[in-house]
Amino acid sequence: MRGLLDSSVEPLWVGGEIGSWTRSRAGHCYFSLKDDRAQIRGVLFSREAAKLPTDPDEGTKVRVFGDLTLYEARGEFQLVARTVEAEGAEGLWRKAFEELKARLEREGLLDPGLKRPIPPFPSTIGVVTSPTGAALRDITSVLQRRAPWARVVVAGSRVQGEGASYEIAEALHRLAKTAQPDVIIVGRGGGSLEDLWAFNEEPVARAIAECPIPVVSAVGHEVDVTISDLVADRRAPTPSAAAETVVPDTPALLEQLRRSPERLGRALRRTASRPRLLLADRMRRLEGSMQNRLVPARRSLEQGRDRLERRISALHTSRSARLATISGRLQALSPLSTLARGYAVALRPDGPVVRTVDAVQPGDDLRVRLADGHVDARVTSTTPHTNE
Amino acid sequence: MSDSTTADRADPTLETRLGRLEEILARMESDDVELEEALTLFEEGVQHVRAAETLLSATELKVEELLASGATQPLDLDDA
C-alpha cells in the first residue's frame, strides 16, 4: 500500500497552520499541520531542515511542499516535506533576521559606540568574498582607479550555500590574524534573499564583532540590509561603494601633499622673523618704560633743586643777619673802640702788655698804643697806688 | 597605535607619514615653536612629503590571495 501511495501520488503543496513543531537532536523536525477541519503529521529531515533560517512558531501559517507517504508503524499518513515556507513577505527569513538582531542588540553588539573609525590611509586592505565573484572585481577596479598604491589581500570564501557563514567567519579570522590589514571589506554582490543569507547568520555576525580590525560590510545591492551590515563598523551599499569608503581620493591627496612644503616654508619664515619682531617690540617697550620711569625722577629732581635753592637763600638771609649782629658785638669788644674812648695801652718793646707797675723799671722803653697810632716813651718813675 | 610605532622603525606607512606631517604642520604653525625646532621639523616634513609622493605614485594595484598557511601569493583576476 505504501509503495502504491509513493508511486502514484505526485509531490504536492499543502497549506495550513503549524500545530506543533519539534526539532530532534539529529536535526529532524517533526510537526503537525492543521486547518479548522483537519490535521496531518509531517517530517522535515535534517538535510532540508538545515536550510530553514529558523523554526516556525506554533500558529504560523506555512506552505509545505512534500511527498505524501504512509507511516506504517502508526498507520498514519505523513507528509515528508522538502521545503517549509512561511506565508507573507519573507516569512521565516524575516523572523530569523529579527530574532538574531534582537539577540545581538541585547548583547550590545549593535551599539553605535562600538563602531570603530575607518583608517583614512590604509596600506593594506583585506577582502573577504568569493575570489571568483563580481564583488571582488568591482572592489579591485575601484581601488585601481582611486588608490593604485594600496595592497589588497583576499581571503577567499564561499558566500552562499550551506556552511558559507562559517567559511566567511573563518576567512575573517584568518585574515585579521595573519595578513593584519588596516581595514577589511566583507561582502558579496547582489542576489536573492536566500543567496545573501550567510550574511544574516550568527557566525558572520560574531566574527565581525570579534574582529580586531575595522570591518566594512557590503552585501548585495543598496536595499539589502543584513545582520553583517548592522554589526560592521561601517555599512556600504555595494562592494564598489565599500572600496570607495576605505581609500582616500589619490589626486586630492597628492594635491594636498604638494601644498605642504609651501605651508612648511611659510611657517618656517614666520618663525625665523619672529626674534627680530620680538626684539623690536622689546626695545619699544623698554624705551617706553624708561620714559615713564624718568618722568617722576626728573620731577623730583626739579623739586629738590627748588627746595635746595630756597633753603640756601633762606640760610643766606639768616646768616647775613647774624653776621651783622656778631660784627656789631665784635666791634663793641674790640680794644680799638676802648682806645677811641680815650684809653691807652702800654706795651713793652718785646710785646707784652704792661698790666702792673712792677712790670717796668725807670728807664725802660714803652710803646703806648692810642686809637689812631702809638707813642714811644721812656719810664721815668713808677708809683703804685696806695690804698687810702 | 602599537602597529604604527612598529612601522615607524621599519618603513613608515603612508598613514604614519601623513599623520606625522599633519602634526608637524600644526606644530610649526603654532606660536611657541623655537627656530631650531622649526628647522628640524621643516626638514622632516619635507622628507615625509617626498616619501608619501613616492608611495602614492605606484600605478599598479597589488592583489594577493591569502593561503591557508597564512602566506600570500599574487592573485591574477583575469585568470580567475
Question: Residues B7, B8, B9, B13: is their CA dihedral positive or negative?
Answer: positive
Instruction: Give pLDDT, residue B69.
Output: 84
Pick the closest to residue A69 from A46, A45, A47 (CA basis).
Answer: A45
Instruction: Give pLDDT, residue B5.
Output: 44
Instruction: Give pLDDT, residue A4.
Output: 64
Cell of A385: 697806688
**Which H/E stretch holds residue A139?**
helix A134-146
Cβ atoms of A147 and A248 closer than 8 Å: yes
Confirm or reject contact between A190 and chain B (CB < 8 A).
no
**Angle, CA B73 vertex, CA A207 and CA A241 arms, to 5°:** 50
Instruction: Give pLDDT, residue A371.
Output: 82
DSSP state of A198: G
Find the residue in B nearest to A151 (Cα). Answer: B62
Question: In whole angstroms, what is the distance from residue A171 CA to residue A127 CA?
Answer: 9
Cell of A286: 623698554
Instruction: Give pLDDT, residue A8.
Output: 66
Are B58 and A271 a contacting pair at CB < 8 A? Answer: no
Are B65 and A136 a contacting pair at CB < 8 A? Answer: no
Are B3 and A180 a contacting pair at CB < 8 A? Answer: yes
Question: In whole angstroms, what is the distance from residue A241 CA to residue A169 CA?
Answer: 22
Long-range contacts of A30-38 (CB under 8 A, 24+ apart): A31/A84, A33/A62, A33/A64, A33/A79
Are B15 and A121 a contacting pair at CB < 8 A? Answer: yes
Residues of B in contact with A137 (CB under 8 A): 77
Question: In whole angstroms, what is the distance from residue A132 CA to residue A123 CA?
Answer: 23
Instruction: Give pLDDT, residue B6.
Output: 44
Question: In whole angstroms, what is the distance from residue A267 CA to residue A261 CA?
Answer: 10
Instruction: Give pLDDT, residue A243.
Output: 95
Instruction: Give pLDDT, residue A323.
Output: 80
Q: Which residues contact A160 (CB under 8 A, 6 or more apart)?
A: A188, A191, A194, A195, A196, A197, A198
Instruction: Give pLDDT, residue A332.
Output: 66
Are B45 and A156 a contacting pair at CB < 8 A? Answer: no
Cβ atoms of A87 and A64 closer than 8 Å: no
Which residues does residue A185 pair with via DSSP β-bridges, in sequence order? A127, A216
DSSP state of A344: -
Find the residue in A nearest to B22 (Cα). Answer: A260
Mean pLDDT by 10 residues, chain A (388 residues): 68 86 90 87 88 82 86 82 77 82 90 90 93 93 91 93 91 92 94 87 93 94 84 94 91 86 87 78 82 82 87 84 77 72 84 85 88 88 77
User: Could you report the predicted ipTM of this complex, rounded to two decimals?
Assistant: 0.74
Instruction: Give pLDDT, residue B64.
Output: 92
Mean pLDDT by 10 residues, chain B (80 residues): 46 86 89 85 89 86 88 74
Q: Count CB neighbours of B71 within 10 A.
A: 11
Residues of A in contact with B72 (CB under 8 A): 153, 179
Instruction: Give pLDDT, residue A90.
Output: 63
Residues of B in contact with A254 (CB under 8 A): 53, 56
DSSP string, A339-383: HHTT--EEE-TTS-B--SGGG--TT-EEEEEETTEEEEEE-----
